[in-house]
């Protein structure tokens, strides 16, 4: 809706309308709308049930819980129209203020970055308050997906690989579904992936290659096994990928000859293409999607290197071998400004690759390689031109453009990193959770606390959604209140 049209529509009714900034909703206003008649004048009050300030849809604002006097030539029909219009605007504002979803691995755009604000800048000595703890969800290393009224997580329970849904409000269980037999190895039991929620559907890939499309009530839509269907090979530490939704498609990496990456119809599960040029075994990474100067591209870290695959037909456009080790390549790539950063551990490092597109083909050229970011599985976030992540067991800040290190600190010990509202949320594998300012000027810790020792490392990445911090500790998910008071 054009802002000018809204302004002109509301001015005859005495409703002040002006451009404004971020949405703030105040609950003091009355929850209903009604008309009081005084002779031939009409007063309209309590229009929206909220007092709304800020951006709502088309950059306009409705102020006040009472609309001032209407002139005698305004008839009741026009009043009713205004009631519905302004009530609609209030509903839009309230919808935009709904708790932000974190519907997949590393958040809405797979960057590990939350856009939420108004969060605690420091934590009390005991940590932020616990809202709820959901237990018996099954052991595993994947993170949580938070969407709508539910939190979704994969786990291993009673010999089965499962996915479960709990209530966002109180952590109570809603449903669980078995995905097949659970697998185990010397690095611990359970799934490694995170569910991907897309509207009323979710996509789940188990550690044994079972790929499910489910409704968000847990009922099955379709199922394939990517190892059997594409002659893929199981990995030493089990399949760890989280499926990527791109429009009407679903992207996964079975690995192996002619199936290093595949694109499926997300509605039916039918194959759209297999990347015949990419025959690497899968890595333990999850793919991202980006437009490189008009060429839509999937990027991931395979067993052999950092790759870029054309979205339209599966053509392999580059293969960056230098960042791959021979043990486990895990970290999700970081893309920005037609550049992509890949990193792996086991005495390897990270590299920034510049990308240029011409005639539908993307060419890649190394900008730098650094041994100052040997990231294992804790991820790397890019904040205002600086990369933050663990170089082995040391939290490190690098300049994205040059790779120059700015600072290093042991922090809470080797772990995973998520960003929100100026701070890094750090979950150490030794069961310590920390908060540190994201600044290139040095390490500035703002709090830490301990979670229970379950006898296995905590490798799940923390999640921020709706003013809450969600921490996975094996078969427990804990929700903390991190809203500033």
Coil/strand/helix, residue 299? strand
Whether the per-residue pLDDT at 308 is higher than 80: the answer is yes
pLDDT number for residue 183: 82
Mean pLDDT of 338-362: 98
The per-residue pLDDT for 186 is 66
pLDDT at position 187 is 63
- Mean pLDDT of the region 456-483: 97
Q: Specify the 3-state DSSP secondary structure of 223.
A: strand
CB 341 within 8 A of CB 351: yes
468 Cβ neighbours under 8 A, 6+ residues apart: 99, 131, 479, 480, 481, 482, 483
The span from the CA of 330 to the CA of 106, in Å, is 13
pLDDT band at 372 (very low <50, low <70, confident <90, very high): very high
**In the predicted structure, residue 11 carries a pLDDT above the cut 50:** no
Please compute the mean of the pLDDT values over residues 152-157 and round it to a whole number.
96
Domain segments of the chain: what residues?
3-96, 113-481
Task: Work out the percent of the chain whose per-residue pLDDT is above 90.
Answer: 75
- The confidence score (pLDDT) of residue 233 equals 87
Q: With 50 as the cut, is the pLDDT of residue 359 above it?
A: yes
pTM over 0.85: no
Q: What is the pLDDT of residue 78?
A: 52
Whether 432 shows a pLDDT value over 60: the answer reads: yes
CB proximity list for 41: less than 8 A, separation 6 or greater = 69, 70, 71, 72
Distance CA 438, CA 386 (A): 9
Structure token pair of residue 196: 């991907």
The CATH number of the domain covering residues in 113-481:
2.130.10.10
pLDDT above 60: residue 249: yes
CB 161 within 8 A of CB 190: yes
The answer to whether residue 323 scores a pLDDT higher than 90 is yes
Q: Using DSSP, state whether 8 is helix, strand or coil.
A: helix
Query: Rounded to whole angstroms, how far apart are CA atoms 108 and 100?
Result: 9
Tens digit of each residue's pLDDT (9 = 90 or more) over 47-88: 333 333 333 332 222 233 333 333 334 444 454 454 444 345
* CA distance linking residue 217 with residue 448, whole number of Å: 36
């Amino acid at each position: 809706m054009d802002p000018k049209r809204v302004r002109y529509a509301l001015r005859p009714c005495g409703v002040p309308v002006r451009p404004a900034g971020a949405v703030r909703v105040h609950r003091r206003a009355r929850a209903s709308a009604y008309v009081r008649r005084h002779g031939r004048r009409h007063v309209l009050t309590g229009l929206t049930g909220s007092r709304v300030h800020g951006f709502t849809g088309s950059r306009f604002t409705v102020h006040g819980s009472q609309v001032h006097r209407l002139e005698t030539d305004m008839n009741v029909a026009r009043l009713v129209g205004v009631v519905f219009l302004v009530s609609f605007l209030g509903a839009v504002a309230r919808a935009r203020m709904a708790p932000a979803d974190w519907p997949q691995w590393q958040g809405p755009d797979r960057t590990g970055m939350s856009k939420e604000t108004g969060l605690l800048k420091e934590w009390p000595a005991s940590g932020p308050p616990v809202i709820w703890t959901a237990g018996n969800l099954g052991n595993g290393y994947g993170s949580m997906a938070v969407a709508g009224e539910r939190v979704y997580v994969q786990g291993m329970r009673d010999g089965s690989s499962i996915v479960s849904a709990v209530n966002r409000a109180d952590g109570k269980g809603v449903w669980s579904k078995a995905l097949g037999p659970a697998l185990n190895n010397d690095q611990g039991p359970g799934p490694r992936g995170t569910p991907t929620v897309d509207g009323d559907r979710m996509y789940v890939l188990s550690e044994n290659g079972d790929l499910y499309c489910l409704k968000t009530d847990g009922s099955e839509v379709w199922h394939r096994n990517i190892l059997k269907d594409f002659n893929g090979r199981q990995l030493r530490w089990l399949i760890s990928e989280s499926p990527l939704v791109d429009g009407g498609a679903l992207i996964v990496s079975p690995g192996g000859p002619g199936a290093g990456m595949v694109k499926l119809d997300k509605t039916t599960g039918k194959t759209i293409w297999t990347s015949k040029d990419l025959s690497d075994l899968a890595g333990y990474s999850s793919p991202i999607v980006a437009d490189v100067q008009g060429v839509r591209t999937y990027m991931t870290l395979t067993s052999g290197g950092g790759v870029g695959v054309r979205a339209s037909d599966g053509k392999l456009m580059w293969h960056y071998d230098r960042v791959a080790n021979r043990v486990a390549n895990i970290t999700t790539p970081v893309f920005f400004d037609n550049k992509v950063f890949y990193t792996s551990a086991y005495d390897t490092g990270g590299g920034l690759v510049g990308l240029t597109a011409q005639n539908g083909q993307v060419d890649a050229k190394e900008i730098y390689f650094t041994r100052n970011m040997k990231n294992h599985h804790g991820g790397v976030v890019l904040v205002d031109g600086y990369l933050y992540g663990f170089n082995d067991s040391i939290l490190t800040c690098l300049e994205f453009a040059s790779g120059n290190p700015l600072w290093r600190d042991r922090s809470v010990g080797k772990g995973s990193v998520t960003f929100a509202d100026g701070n890094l949320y750090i979950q150490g594998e030794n069961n310590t959770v920390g908060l540190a300012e994201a600044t290139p000027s040095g390490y500035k810790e703002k709090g830490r606390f301990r979670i229970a020792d379950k006898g296995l490392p905590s490798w799940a990445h923390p999640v921020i959604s709706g003013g809450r911090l969600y921490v996975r500790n094996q078969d427990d998910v804990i929700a903390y209140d991190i809203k500033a008071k």
